[in-house]
Chain A
Amino acid sequence: MHRSRFLFPVLAFGALALYPLAGGGFGIDLVTKIMVYAIFALSLELLAGTTGLVSFGHAAFFGIGAYAAVMLSPQSGPASALWLAPACMLAAAGYALAVGALSLRTKGVYFIMVTLAFAQMAYYVVHDTPFGGGTDGIYLTLKPTLAGLDLDQALLLYGFTLGCLMLVFALLALLLRSTFGRALAGIRVNEQRMRATGFSTYPYKLAAFVLSGAIAGLAGFLFAVKDGFVNPEMMGWHLSGAVLIMIILGGLGHLEGALIGAFAFALLQELFKSEAVFGAFAKHWQLGLGLAIIACVALLPRGLIGVPELLRERLVGRRNGARAAAEVQHELA
């Protein structure tokens, strides 16, 4: 068990590091995008999976990170990612602090809806006011640089994104094993009992919320740099819903689940949209995706991450059954 915990991230990140050797220009773009979504999913995983706080407005922090990337970029020349990225995270974290401080007063479904409300507020601010380009969105004309290198180059951005992803993953993994992480897990399992033992849960939840917002902001920053274009839809509830779907699909309660979910969701979409596979039916790709999701829920109670365990249970269960039968026969004989 202990070994396999390291096995997955090592294999996954190793594969991602080697991918550019095999992937073409588009493949690199695609995987970059999915890695950005994976960072985004990890940020929500910290809240929803670990702490049990389901946010349905996480796109707001993603969007604020993205808009900050465009608006803070100076007109005169490219910004350095080394200060721009933290600045975007700070912007998202700032909004997360305000939203978290207020919304953590509510619980359960009400929390889900309050986070949605705050996200919709941010959405309408950029959608309905000329501030931020309105509905048509705005362009990031000068991509930031990293140590003198231009992040406009796909391969460099790929590496940078992978680095961010590994960093976020490692940070969260360490965090979850610390006292802080255990406190969050305790809050998820039974907040009332934590409180009853004199443990003040609010600061922990707020800290998790702000950290999560900051990481979502990082994802948004990367997305803006990758696309060079931001639009209000990046704060829309569709995206908040999509990232929630990713982590549920992957399997809640595991950091790996967020990674798997992001990849599975994006690749399933690519698969069902692919004309090479489905021909003219590809335009009805939503049907395939919908059915695949329903099948996942029906067959995989713990999400995709539960697949190996499910298989093992099946196999071991059968073997145990066989052994028991043999023992019974032995006794009878």
Chain B
Amino acid sequence: MTFFRLAFAAALAAGTTASAFAQATDRIKVGLMLPYTGTYASLGTAIENGFRLYLDENGGKLAGKTVEFFKVDDESDPAKAVDNTNKLVKRDNVDVLVGTVHSGVAMAMAKVARETQTLLIVPNAGADAITGPMCAPNIFRTSFSNWQPAYAMGLVAAEQQKHKTAVTITWKYAAGDESAKGFKEGFESKGGKVVKELSLPFPNVEFQALLTEIAAAKPDAVYAFFAGGGAVKFVKDYAGAGLKSKIPLYGPGFLTDGTLEAQGDAASGMLTTLHYGDDLAQPKDKQFRLNYAKAYKLQPDVYAVQGYDAAQLLAAGLAAAQGDIKKRDAVVRGMEQARLDSPRGALAMSKAHNPVQDVYLRKVEGHANKTIGVAVKQLADPARGCKLGT
């Protein structure tokens, strides 16, 4: 019982300190809701590092404002997502929400953002709905939609690689379904045919049965969507089953990004599409990579770029509103009209607030995703179901 009272006092304190914080206008409160534990922990760290790098390059400020960070570990758990978001919105009264990696969690964040009119910048989660039916003036994304790299790969596979038939394989969950659909749309728009759509329960990583199915179907190409440990295992199993040399494997960049070292030789020569590559040969990218490596003793990846651009986009919005985050309309307009000098190349927001960007074609060489060209220039998500700006 003593404990109960103590605990109660703690809850009480947690509730009151929040409201005691005075609203200072010389600073802006940024709420980072990212995964710091679990499967996506390293992605969360990369996004935060990227965000902070932009600040460091600009004297620790965003458009002249000091930034105060509030952090929440979202654990990639959608069941806790609304609560975790509310922690930042209601307890810490943040001006901007930045997050997250997991699509289901991002959907909950988008919901809270819509209801509370909080500014939200999504630095990774690709769920098409966020800038589709769920789009809103105060919701932006600096990463991609699941459709984008997948559609681009569909075009590449049909036009450039001259494949006629393909099989898609993914985990049975929303991101995987959307990616496979995007590929199919691109591939079939250029005369290809997806002959089989394989899936397995998330996060099952026993691929042998489906690899056998692929071998039996004998398609010209395979398109796979997996991430993290599952991506590593799939690419290795694909090579181990001897399919790599006979049926080329394609995928969005997530199949190889951040996991190339673990995949070893199994990945070499693979083609993937993504809005970033490891050697874009642009001055901005070179400088970014140098600064990042210096600051964090790590090589940056696409997640770090997305975090960096989230900070840039916010800075652009703030600058347009003379640094006053409370002038919401001006901030949003500034973000909509921003032309970002991103490490990935020039970047603009679509009407649905998703990046319009070049999607690169990359080839795995050694432990790097070497850029070998642009798959689609300035590709915009079709934003189906979004009524913004129409």
Chain A–chain B contact at Cβ < 8 A: yes
| Contact of A27 with B174 at beta-carbon distance under 8 Å, contacts A229-B108, A231-B104, A233-B104 already known | no
User: A4-42: which residues lie under 8 A (CB-CB) from chain B?
Assistant: 8, 11-12, 15, 19, 22-31, 33-34
| Contact of A30 with B14 at beta-carbon distance under 8 Å, contacts A135-B104, A228-B82 already known | yes
Report the Cα distance A284→B38, complex, angstroms.
11
**Pick from B18, B37, B83: contact of A283, CB under 8 Å:** B37
- Least CB distance from B331 to A in Å reads 23
The interface residues of chain B, by DSSP majority, are classed as: helix
B-side contacts of A22, CB under 8 Å? 12, 15-16
State whether the Cβ of B2 lies closer than 8 Å to any Cβ in chain A.
yes
Report the Cα distance A34→B82, complex, angstroms.
14
Chain B interface bracket (under 10, 10 to 19, 20 to 34, 35 or more): 35 or more
State whether the Cβ of A263 lies closer than 8 Å to any Cβ in chain B.
yes
User: B150-174: which residues lie under 8 A (CB-CB) from chain A?
Assistant: 172-174
Task: Report yes or no: A260 in contact with B71, Cβ–Cβ below 8 A.
Answer: no
A-side contacts of B173, CB under 8 Å? 127, 134-135
Task: Report yes or no: A136 in contact with B104, Cβ–Cβ below 8 A.
Answer: yes
Task: Report yes or no: A136 in contact with B174, Cβ–Cβ below 8 A.
Answer: yes
- Least CB distance from B114 to A in Å reads 10
A-side contacts of B272, CB under 8 Å? none
Task: Report yes or no: B19 in contact with A229, Cβ–Cβ below 8 A.
Answer: no
Report the Cα distance A33→B17, complex, angstroms.
19
| Contact of A27 with B79 at beta-carbon distance under 8 Å, contacts A135-B104, A227-B108, A264-B3 already known | no
Report the Cα distance A226→B79, complex, angstroms.
12
Nearest to B10 among chain A residues (CB) is A267
Task: Report yes or no: B90 in contact with A137, Cβ–Cβ below 8 A.
Answer: no
Task: Report yes or no: A29 in contact with B83, Cβ–Cβ below 8 A.
Answer: yes
Task: Report yes or no: B18 in contact with A24, Cβ–Cβ below 8 A.
Answer: yes
Interface size on A, residues (CB 8 A): 55
- Least CB distance from A15 to B in Å reads 6
**Pick from A27, A227, A236, A307: contact of B11, CB under 8 Å:** A27
State whether the Cβ of B27 lies closer than 8 Å to any Cβ in chain A.
no
| Contact of A136 with B91 at beta-carbon distance under 8 Å, contacts A27-B14, A282-B71 already known | no
Report the Cα distance A194→B37, complex, angstroms.
48
Task: Report yes or no: B103 in contact with A27, Cβ–Cβ below 8 A.
Answer: no
Task: Report yes or no: B1 in contact with A308, Cβ–Cβ below 8 A.
Answer: yes
State whether the Cβ of A239 lies closer than 8 Å to any Cβ in chain B.
yes
- Interface pairs (26), CB distance under 8 Å: A24-B91, A27-B14, A33-B83, A127-B202, A135-B202, A136-B127, A137-B78, A227-B82, A227-B83, A229-B82, A229-B108, A229-B111, A231-B78, A231-B108, A233-B78, A260-B4, A263-B4, A263-B8, A264-B3, A267-B11, A273-B73, A283-B71, A285-B37, A286-B37, A304-B3, A307-B1
Further pairs besides A26-B15, A29-B90, A231-B79: 9, Cβ < 8 Å: A26-B90, A30-B11, A31-B15, A124-B201, A134-B173, A227-B83, A260-B1, A270-B10, A283-B73
